Structures are given as C-alpha cells and as structure tokens.
Structure 1
Amino acid sequence: MSTAVTAGVGTPRPPAMSDVAQLAGVSHQTVSRVLNDHPSVRAETRERVLDAIATLGYRRNSAARALVTRRSGTIGVVTTGSVLYGPTSTLVALEEAARDAGYFVSVATISVFDAATMHRALEHFMGQGVEGIAIIAPQVEVTEAVASFDAPVPVVMITSSAQPAGSTIRTVTVEQTDGARQATRHLAEAGHREIVHLAGPQDWFDARDRLAGWRAECAELGVRTPEHIEGDWTAERGYAVGVRLAREGAPSAVFAANDQLALGLLRAFWEAGLRVPHDVAVVGFDDVAGSAYFIPPLTTVRQDFAALGRLAIDVLSDALAGSDLVRPAIPATLVVRASSVAAPEG
C-alpha cells in the first residue's frame, strides 16, 4: 500500500526519489544506485531502500530519467500482426525478455510489406528515440523491406534468413533445419521408408528450412523422397491433403510443417478409418499448446520461444555495449508422443 505525500498546502503528489531517500535514511544517490542495481550498495541498505519504495509506492519517472541519461530505455519491435503460433509466441517472448532486462517495448504492426511501409515504421521508432529495434521477420517480403534501411541504432531480425555479407543487421533464430531433420530421422528410425512432407508456404523462411531439412535427412538416410506437398499453415489445408492421401493411398508417414497442418491430417485419417500411428504416422512442428491432447497426442518439434526472446534482447544489449559476439541459434527439440510411436499390443 502506498503512502500519500503532501506538497504545499495539503496537495497530494506522487512520491519522489527524495521521499524514498528520506524514509530509508540514505542519500538520493544511494536510491539511484539501488534502482539501477549497482553492485556497490550493501545488502542491508538495498533492503531498506526497497522497503521504502514499497511503503511509498514509488514509481520511477521514466520521462525524467530519459532527460537525464539521454536514453529512452525503449526497444522498438516490428511485427506483421500474424495470429499464427510462431510469430505471436515470438512477440510475447520478446516483450517479456525486454521487460526483464529493464526495457520498455514499443510495437509497430505492419500489414503491407514494402520498403516504404517498413521505413515509416522504423522512422516512427527513431522519433521515439528507441535504443534498438527487433524485427519479427518470418517472410521473404519483410526481410527484403528491411535490407534497404540504414538504421542509426542496432537492429536484430528474428528470422532464419541469412543476411548478405557486410550487413549490419543481426539475426537470431531457432534451428529450423535441424528440427526438421530430427523429425524425419525419428520416422526413419521407426522403419518408415517413405516419408511425405506437407510443407508450409514457401515465402516463409521457416517453411523453406523445414523443407530443406526433410530433404537433407531423407537423402542422408537413403529414404525415398517423394515430391513435397504444397501447403499453408492451416488445419483446413491439412484436412484437405489428408482426405486426398487417404483416397489415393496414404503413405506410412507424414511430416507436417506445423501442428495445425498435422491436426487437419489427423482428422482426415480418422474419418477415413486409418489408424495413427499404426497405418500412418504423423509428426508436426511447433509443439503448440494443446498438441499433447490431440487424438492421438502429437509428436512434434518444440521451439523455445522464451529463449529466442532472451537471445534477441541479449544481442541488442551486446550491440549497445559495443560488443558483437556471435550467438548460436536456439536448438529445436523433438517431443515424441503417440502419433508416431505405436503402443505395444497384447
């Protein structure tokens, strides 16, 4: 509970840093050091200041702090506004990681992916004095629009696309190709010699990488590689493909580019009387919330979005500190469930 502070003739005002200092019996500078997590403050002093902050309900005046430090403490984030699981989870993870690191986040959502629109969004951030920019760029159009912008602050793109030599834009990503290879290897090791891939839209870098991983692993293991099936990211498309596969003769295994496609496949195979995984095994990608409760529970590839958000903020923090450490991609993890492994009979 906060304590009211009186200014002048009984006029209440928000508590100031000086009020915290007076209550805690320390200097204004000591309160500032505590707020900035300075290591030179003794533990008992820090505790006393934090107690005073809690008692008064003090909140740091970010605008005043920005005037003094000439730093906004703000990260700009550009997103496409996609409601798909991957981009949405990435945005949430990025905001949480930024907040944990002491940054505010300003979000710009764009729906037209051309250079002019991207430049307007980035110039908007420059007007806010952001310290760095993160761009969730899963699609080819977004990356191409960013490439021509020469930002005066560090920029990190969350994408699996490679940047051209000499580019100052940093990238962070999850190991999409390796995740697809893990899924394909799992099916091959289960004895499947024909693994069909239901791909995502090929203007998405993640979909391209998953397709490439499936092809590479099949080639390395000597598994026959039929032509992949073009898809989008929807359960509706997965269902339509599943109906066709069941009618024409389903393969023994399908690796779907995301869990929604896999969900549609499961429904179509169930309607056709095909048992999963006995007649056809299914593996997805993303490990969406609820995938463990599909019928049967879905084997899938998990992406650690929380780690991805932290990595993006770490890369921006490194750049702001004048460091340019090369950070490895976040590993993807195969989660094996009943859609690809039959329970023992008898």
Structure 2
Amino acid sequence: MVRPPRKEASMADVARLAGVSSQTVSRVSNGHPIVSEDTRERVLAAMKDLNYRPNSAARALKSGKFRTLGVILFTLATTGNVRTLEAISASAADEGYAITLLPVATPTSTSVRGAVTLLGEQVVDGIIVIMEVRLLDAAISLPPHTHVVVADSDAGDRYSVVDTDQSGGAEAAVQHLLDLGHRTVVHVAGPPESFAAQRRAHAWRRTLEKAGRPVPAQVDGDWSAASGYTAGLALAADPTCTAIFAANDQMALGVLRALHEKGRRVPEDVSVVGFDDIADSASFLPPLTTVHQDFAEVGRLCVDGVLRQIREETTERGTTLVPTRLVVRSSTAPPPRG
C-alpha cells in the first residue's frame, strides 16, 4: 500500500501546538522583537516538532525584503576581488543573507547596465559594487533610494565607499626603501584607468617629492605577472635602478623573474616591494616585502554598510578606510655600495 505524501505543517498547526495565535507565529518567523522569550521558545519548539518551514518567498513578497544582496564586479581574475567576494559571501551568510553575483566580463556601459537591470529583475535588497564606480555611473543612474556600497573605488559623495588605505600603504612602501638608503624608487604601476593604481602611483610620487628625491619615469603595467616581467627586463638594464615598488604582488613576481634572468640579485643589487600580501608572497624567491591589505575586513564592512542602510531604510555617503601595514621580508635591503 502506497502511503499518501505527508502533509506539510501550516502556520495554524504550529499555532495550535504552541497555544498561540497565527499572528504570533508570524512574528516569531520574522524575528519580531515584541514577542516574549518564553513564547518565542514555545513557538520555536512547535516548529521543530512539526518540521515547519516558514515560506520565505511569501514573507519576502509581503515585507518587500528578500534577504539577498547583489554583487556586481568586473573580474574574478584578480586576487583582491576574489578575496573580497569571499569575505562578502561569508559575512552575508552570517547575517542570513544570500548573494547574487553578476560578473561583468567587459566593463562597458552596456554590460554594466545589463548587470544592474538583471539584478533588478532578480529582486535584491541592496547592491555591493566591486569595480570602478565611473562605469556604474556611465551605465545607469541608480534611484536615490537604492542601498549601495562601493568597494575600492572613488564614489565621491554619491555612494558609501569602503576602501583600503591605498595612499598610506604606498607611502609606507616607498618610505621603507628610502629609509634603507636608496636614492630613489622606480614604480611599476597598475593600469592607468584603475582607481587603486592611481592612488598608489600618486602616493609614490608625492613621497619622493616630499623627500626631495628625483622622480623616475613611471612604468605602466596591467596587474599581471607578465607585465611585471616586461617592466623588469627594461629596469634590469638600468644600473642606476636599485629599488622598485610594484603596485601589486603579481607584477612584483614578474619583476623578480626578470631581474633573476638578467643577473641582478634581489635584494643585494635591487630591492623590490609589492602590494597586496597575497598568500604566496611569503614563498616568492626571495620572500617578498609587501603592503598587506585586509580584504576580509573590506568585505565585512561592505556587508555591514549595506545592511545598515537596509535596516534603517536610508542611504549613506562617505568613505571608510581600512588600514594597511608593511610586511618586511627578504626582498629589500640597503643599496649596493660604490
């Protein structure tokens, strides 16, 4: 004999077992604060006994809250984006929120507009943007009530921003090399359209000028180890180059390889500093001196910021800076004598 499928428990069933009204069960399901602790425990016990699962879709339609955050980002190819996204996902889960990820393969106004439109169709409570905010503005004008937090970009007073202290980290890197006795520092920069690259390059130049040191020509890269290798080959041919600050660890890795191939020893002949402190930087040869970014904290603060806007039904402006710190390893030393 085939038994009919077991009927799922309803809110009314829970109310009868707990000896309360259906409205009280609804309040417990939605985390309403006015329910007494004894009543809450009784209702939760009844839910467990009956294996009752609240209809989250119905609650969302009724309340207008979907407990989902949208994340728009340009690429998953960079260490920073991946680690920030990982932290956002973990922090959102801790708060009972899911994330809907919209990677934008090519950062054009059309592709960003499509991502924002798709997020609107999938109903999210707030948006975290991990890309240059100028692309978001070029693509679409978000309604003023939209809950938005931007990571590692420059949004001025338009959106709430959580950013690594790019300038402070770059200044610490350059000053470290100057304090070791290097006359000046060559910079291998990130792509010129990148906000982070611009901030780091500006701080490099400002630190040299403040110290009264000559400012060498900037060498542009694209965040990749390959571009760092190309830059390193050119710099290895310059005997006056004794210190290099690369705008990220991947480019620093390429620089290290090029210097090695050209017979320039690190750090005996040339000191090299990176930026990011990726997991592998301590295993470079030699271990890389670099600026540590707290990607986990950036992600956590992004989630905290957008949830605060959602809960308070408001929008925020301004920038929160996450501190950096210099991690000194074996790739830096005083310049060679003579």
- Mapped to 2, the partners of 1:153 and 1:37 lie a distance apart of 24
Structure 1 unaligned segments of length 5 or more: list them.
1-8
Find the counterpart in structure 2 of residue 314 from structure 1. 304
For residues 258 and 63 of structure 1, do their structure 2 counterparts lie closer, same or farther at Cα, with a shift above 3 Å needed?
same
Matched ranges for 1:1-346 at <5 A: 10-12=4-6, 36=30, 60-138=54-132, 140=134, 142-146=135-139, 148-150=141-143, 152-163=145-156, 167=158, 169-249=159-239, 251-320=241-310, 321=312, 322=314, 324=316, 326=318, 328-341=320-333
- Mapped to 2, the partners of 1:13 and 1:100 lie a distance apart of 31
For residues 275 and 209 of structure 1, do their structure 2 counterparts lie closer, same or farther at Cα, with a shift above 3 Å needed?
same
- Mapped to 2, the partners of 1:273 and 1:309 lie a distance apart of 41
8 Å CA contact 2:163, 2:319 repeated in 1: no
Aligned AA for 1:198?
A: V
8 Å CA contact 1:181, 1:213 repeated in 2: yes
Cα distance, 1:90 vs structure 2: 2.1
1:243-272 C-alpha deviation (Å, 9 max, x unpaired): 222223251110001101101111122223
For residues 266 and 21 of structure 1, do their structure 2 counterparts lie closer, same or farther at Cα, with a shift above 3 Å needed?
farther
Which range moves more in the overlay, 51-60 or 185-194? 51-60
- Mapped to 2, the partners of 1:12 and 1:250 lie a distance apart of 80
Aligned AA for 1:87?
A: N
Aligned AA for 2:127?
A: I
Structural RMSD (CA):
3.0
For residues 221 and 59 of structure 1, do their structure 2 counterparts lie closer, same or farther at Cα, with a shift above 3 Å needed?
farther
TM-score (norm 1): 0.82
For residues 109 and 162 of structure 1, do their structure 2 counterparts lie closer, same or farther at Cα, with a shift above 3 Å needed?
closer
- Mapped to 2, the partners of 1:302 and 1:18 lie a distance apart of 55
- Mapped to 2, the partners of 1:120 and 1:223 lie a distance apart of 47
Aligned AA for 1:177?
A: S
Find the counterpart in structure 2 of residue 3 from structure 1. none
Cα distance, 1:117 vs structure 2: 3.0
- Structure number with the bigger relative contact order (C-alpha 8 A, sep ≥ 6) is 2
- Mapped to 2, the partners of 1:271 and 1:162 lie a distance apart of 42
Which range moves more in the overlay, 321-330 or 45-54? 45-54
TM-score (norm 2): 0.84
Matched pairs, number? 330
Cα distance, 1:223 vs structure 2: 2.6
- Mapped to 1, the partners of 2:315 and 2:141 lie a distance apart of 23
Cα distance, 1:112 vs structure 2: 3.5
Which range moves more in the overlay, 33-42 or 181-190? 33-42
8 Å CA contact 1:315, 1:327 repeated in 2: no
8 Å CA contact 1:119, 1:149 repeated in 2: no
